[in-house]
Structure 1
């Protein structure tokens, strides 16, 4: 199944869920009824945009906490654990969590069931590094602000959020789900709480049809005590 066929199947499930007033219930349906290799965003390896950024910035998780949003089959969470982070990885789909635990039975990652629209209160400002990869772009536009706030509230003072998503230029139409986002859209979602760095719209990555990726880094300022992440 090519990438476009995978996305078309996911769109059908999402449209049916939206029609019955359930904007997120289709994630579990997708994971429960689809082979892992046919999940549109499941490459079953750590995302190369994460790996590249971590290598370039010498990302070191020693003694630090990380959170993976919409963790899917767990590859990105496991990569962060390999960098030394104590990782919590969450997904709204129980089947995704079970798959991740089966794939990595000896993992140090704590996989949990949670909803980005209602993150647990104990996660408030608890994580030094937060990875948001491809979750915002599959949510209807009206839900993205609440999701972005939920993500932002998990970031500790001095901490960092790395957002990965399909990207587009301002003059381009968003098309169909998964909707590619502009740098301005991502920054606007998080700017009430976090300070953005310079977004990167990366070249086509070999998918068919070609897909550009947007990578945005945002940080929570240190608090008045000088705490860092």
Structure 2
């Protein structure tokens, strides 16, 4: 797995340096050819950091809409649907979305190929809950910053945005994907009109070694 993770980092770096920071996702998923072991973040189960948050906040989604950004292979989207949300989940990679539909042929989730930076107009002020898990950290910060007003705009009034990401201090250097985020960086969501509800800074004990995580809740 370590060897594969390094290979994926090199792939991402190659495309980022070529000025194509979004194109490597499709290359990765298509080359994986339905072998989840070649996708480092594909645990084939919902993110435990998400599950804990949902349980702690007793979140139920009856008659509520949810958007999953960069849904990957769909496990988080399926969990939200299981809890009653009407879920839209998208990824920039057509191969990833095809993989989702093959994994969950009877899914209630609306899986779409879409680009975060060219969203559908009907998403504006639509969703009661948005999950952004590990997507922003996979993009250069100059690019991911551009996504923040777009994501905030997807939220319906009183909607909740949950961010799950790797965390770092400002003085720590960025090397290769994934790029851990800083608290000040994430506070840009406040600058675009959201209010901070909770900022959790902890070490994920399911990592080896345990990795620092931020789990941040914003409200519109």
Larger strand proportion of the pair:
2
2:159 is paired with a residue whose SS is: strand
The question of whether the paired residues in 1 share the 8 Å contact of 2:148 and 2:192 is answered with no
What is the alpha-carbon distance in structure 2 between the residues aligned to residue 98 and residue 190 of structure 1? 35
Alignment partner, residue 7 of structure 1: 5
What is the alpha-carbon distance in structure 1 between the residues aligned to residue 82 and residue 60 of structure 2? 10
Alignment partner, residue 166 of structure 2: 166
Structure 2, unmatched stretches of 5+, are none
CA offsets 1:57-116 (integer angstroms, 9 cap, x no match) = 110100010000000000000000011000000000001101111111110000001111
| Between 129-138 and 186-195, the greater mean CA deviation after superposition | 186-195
**CA 1:190–1:37 in 2, change beyond 3 Å: closer, same or farther?**
farther
Moved over 4 A (4+): none
CA offsets 1:190-213 (integer angstroms, 9 cap, x no match) = 532211123111213332343221
The question of whether the paired residues in 2 share the 8 Å contact of 1:168 and 1:180 is answered with yes
Could you tell me how far 1:42 is from its partner in structure 2? 1.4
The question of whether the paired residues in 2 share the 8 Å contact of 1:144 and 1:189 is answered with no
**CA 1:64–1:99 in 2, change beyond 3 Å: closer, same or farther?**
same
Structure 1, unmatched stretches of 5+, are 221-229
Alignment partner, residue 22 of structure 2: 24
What is the alpha-carbon distance in structure 2 between the residues aligned to residue 136 and residue 190 of structure 1? 16
The question of whether the paired residues in 1 share the 8 Å contact of 2:152 and 2:192 is answered with no
Matches within 5 A, 1:210-221: 210-220=210-220
Could you tell me how far 1:175 is from its partner in structure 2? 3.4
Could you tell me how far 1:125 is from its partner in structure 2? 0.6
The question of whether the paired residues in 1 share the 8 Å contact of 2:152 and 2:189 is answered with no
What is the alpha-carbon distance in structure 1 between the residues aligned to residue 110 and residue 193 of structure 2? 26
Matches within 5 A, 1:139-218: 139-218=139-218
The question of whether the paired residues in 1 share the 8 Å contact of 2:166 and 2:180 is answered with yes
**CA 1:169–1:112 in 2, change beyond 3 Å: closer, same or farther?**
same
Alignment partner, residue 113 of structure 2: 113
Alignment partner, residue 91 of structure 1: 91
What is the alpha-carbon distance in structure 1 between the residues aligned to residue 46 and residue 209 of structure 2? 21
- RMSD of equivalent CA atoms: 1.5
